[in-house]
Every structure is written in structure tokens, then in C-alpha cells.
Amino acid sequence: MQIDGKDIVLDAFKEVYKTLDNVRVFFAPGRVNLIGEHTDYNGGHVFPCALTIGTYAAVRLRDDDVCRFYSKNFPDAGIIERNTNETVKDESKSFTNYPLGMVAALKEKGFEIRRGFDVAYYGNIPNSSGLSSSASIEVLTGFFLKELFGLNISNLDIALLGQKCENEFIGVNCGIMDQFIIAMGKKDNATFLDTATLEYLYVPVKLDGYKIVIACSNKKRGLKDSKYNERRQECDTALADIKTVKSINTLGELTEEEFESLKSNIIDETCRKRAKHAVYENQRTIKAVTKLQEGDIEGFGQLMNESHDSLRDDYEVTGIELDTLVNAARKCQGVIGSRMTGAGFGGCTVSIVLDDCIDSFIDYVGKEYKEITQLDADFYVVEIGDGPLEI
Ligand code: GLA
């Protein structure tokens, strides 16, 4: 699959820049989170994995400080020209804000980006699907800049700069999960990450006859205009209320029992629900990893289901599209767990489905989804891949 992507991005480069001299090709994955949603900005745990689908870049350095961007996914935008010295977002320049935000973040950190570059991108992650196409292009850009300029920066630091780019340049207050897993992913493993300490553990995903199936709702949303930042704020308010009686740094420090005994201190009922999700989801994630390590896939699937229900009822980030996909999935034979993945408000679901049942799953869920929402869902049977690399 990576060979196809390489050819496609090289063709795109040649078509727009008319040469392939000195061009190098890089890849960064997309990601799916198996469990641990909206916990990463609450000091909790997440359990994502990198995918073999992702974003490709064909790139070569220039002799001046101009950056020219082209994306095979947004051909109508043509070549967009920018400059390595820009430090603020330009709404009119579409996707280029992600890579340029990375340039700005690296420079701010003291890395020398002395020359501009011509780049063509091609992604086979559906855009705005919740599989982190934006974090993928950020990490990819950080990674190829590291390689092209020989920068002394680790993949973990590229992830942290990616998050900074997203927070400060793009204006989305995301946590570290997406950039972390894209920069640090490992084939056939999910990563159990403690977002409070950045300690992590690779856990082999052995699904014995089951596969990970992603259903994309095709309900587009960008985090910028979603209620993502509002949810963060609600959690911060809940935390501040708890801090009046107990000294903690994050909601992720609390067990379910501690939360139950403290929750009356959270004044606003909505904020109380949000905090409940953050605390319970974190504990669920810890339990889910143990289940997987013990080979208890059914137990893991059950916790995935509980995760979705909590995101629907307490965190309220699912919506009719994701709920319909999940409800239909749970009616299918051979499905051991199904939940929304990523930020929510549209995007994708992730289900664990028995190999032999995948065709009937896709057929049934697709039909039921169309009937209820009038939208077509897309399905991806995915493999867990590595972090960024030159190909
Ligand atoms: C988005 C953010 C992540 C995380 C998830 C929800 O993907 O980028 O940091 O908060 O939503 O779990």
C-alpha cells in the first residue's frame, strides 16, 4: 500500500513542479484510538494505534525561503506559496497552515530552517474523518524537516511541537494523543500512554480472527468549529471546583470512588457529567489494557461499548450519525465492541469484527446508516502500522 502512495505523491510532485530532481518521499500514519477518549487533556490514559494509511510527502529543498505547497487531496487549491518567516495562520491558505505551523514551531524552539521547500502531499486517510489527518500532516512535516536539515530532535519532541502547532497556530486546544501516536506508533501494537507523565507501553494487539473495522460517517467536522474547546473548558471548571476541597492536578488522578465522593463539589450539573466521563473513561482504559493483555477480547469489547455510551450520555459528543453506526454495528453477528473514535461530533467509529462477518457487517451497517441519515458510510478494514519513515 505504501508503494502505491509513494507513486501517487511522486506523480503529483512531477505534475505540478515539473521535475523529480532531489526529491525525497516520506510517510506518516493516521491513527485510531481503541479506547480512552477525551482523557488526554485530563491527565488520563489513552490507547491508540497508528495505521498503515496516512499521509505522504514528496519534497525537495529550495535555495530561497519560499515554501510551495500542493496537495493531491485539494487539487483545486493549486500551488500555494508561503514563506518560512510567517508566524501566523492565514485562513485563506487552507491546509498549508498545518505544515507552516510546524515550521514556525520548530523555529521558535531554536531549530534553524534556513531554506524553503517545494512539497506535494497525498493522504489516503479520509479528510475530517477523525483519523487525525491534521496531526498526520503536522508530524510528517516535522519529520521531513528533521531529515532534510539533519535536526537533532526526537520523534517525541516532534509530537510535542505538533501539539503546540495545533494549540497555538491552528487554535485547537487538543491534547497530545494524536501527535504522540503518529510520531511513536509501532506496527501491530497499540500504545498505552499516560498523558500526565508521557510514560508509555507498547501492547501487542492480537485479535485472533477478529479485525479492526473503521466506519466513516462522512459527517464532516473540523475541531475548530466543533465543541471541542468547550468540552475542555467544562472539564477545567469541574477540576477547579474539586480543587477547592482536594489537592489534585488533573481529573485523571481520581478513581471512580473518589469521584463519587467528591462530585457534589462540582456546582454545574453539565460540568459534573463531563468530569464523570473523564474519570470513568480513564479507569476503563486502564482496565481495557489489562483485558487485552490477558487475551480477553470480549471483555475489551465490552469496555469499548461502555466507552461509547459514556461519550453519548455524559460527554455528549456522539450525535445521530455516530450513534446510528454504533447501534447498527452492535446488532451484527461477530461484533465484540463498537464505539466512536477521536473527538466525536461526526468522524468515525471503530469496531472489532470477526473476520468471517466483515462483509455482512459492512452491508448491514451501511444500509441501516443510509436509511436513517441519508448518508453513505465508508468502511476501512485497517492494519496497525509504524510511525513516520522515509520511503
Ligand atoms: C482529538 C484530539 C485529541 C483527543 C481526542 C479525543 O482527536 O486531537 O487530543 O483529545 O480528540 O480523545
**For residue range 341-372, what is the model confidence (pLDDT) as tens digits?**
999 989 999 999 999 999 999 999 999 999 99
Q: Model's pTM, two decimal places?
A: 0.96
Strand 48-61 and strand 24-33: the pairing is antiparallel
Atom of ligand 1 nearest to the CA of 166: 8
Atom of ligand 1 nearest to the CA of 40: 10
Among 38, 49, 233, 318, say which to mutate for ligand 1: greatest number of ligand atoms within 8 Å of CB. 38
Do residues 26 and 388 lie in contact, with contact meaning Cβ atoms separated by under 8 Å? yes
| Strands of 348-354's sheet in order across | 335-341, 348-354, 210-216, 378-382
Confidence (pLDDT) at 272:
98
**How remote is the CA of residue 50 from the centroid of ligand 1, in Å?**
14
**How remote is the CA of residue 194 from the centroid of ligand 1, in Å?**
14
Active-site annotation holds for 178? yes
CB of 32 within 6 A of ligand 1: the answer is: no
Instruction: Read off the pLDDT of residues 258-295 as tens digits, 9 standing for 90 and up.
Output: 999 999 999 999 999 999 999 999 999 999 999 999 99
Atom of ligand 1 nearest to the CA of 135: 8
Tell me what percent of the residues of the chain surpass a pLDDT of 90: 93
**How remote is the CA of residue 14 from the centroid of ligand 1, in Å?**
35
Q: Which of 178, 194, 241, 314 is catalytic?
A: 178
Atom of ligand 1 nearest to the CA of 228: 11
> Residue ranges of the domains in the chain?
2-202
What are phi and psi for residue 64, nearest 5 degrees? -110, -165
CB of 343 within 6 A of ligand 1: the answer is: yes
**How remote is the CA of residue 377 from the centroid of ligand 1, in Å?**
22
Helices 358-373 and 319-331, packing angle to 10 deg: 140
Q: pLDDT below 70 — which residues of the chain?
A: 1-3, 221-226
Do residues 175 and 137 lie in contact, with contact meaning Cβ atoms separated by under 8 Å? no
Do residues 37 and 228 lie in contact, with contact meaning Cβ atoms separated by under 8 Å? no
CB of 174 within 6 A of ligand 1: the answer is: yes
Do residues 344 and 281 lie in contact, with contact meaning Cβ atoms separated by under 8 Å? no
Q: CATH: 3.40.50.2300, 3.40.640.10, 3.90.1150.10, 3.30.230.10. Which one for 2-202?
A: 3.30.230.10
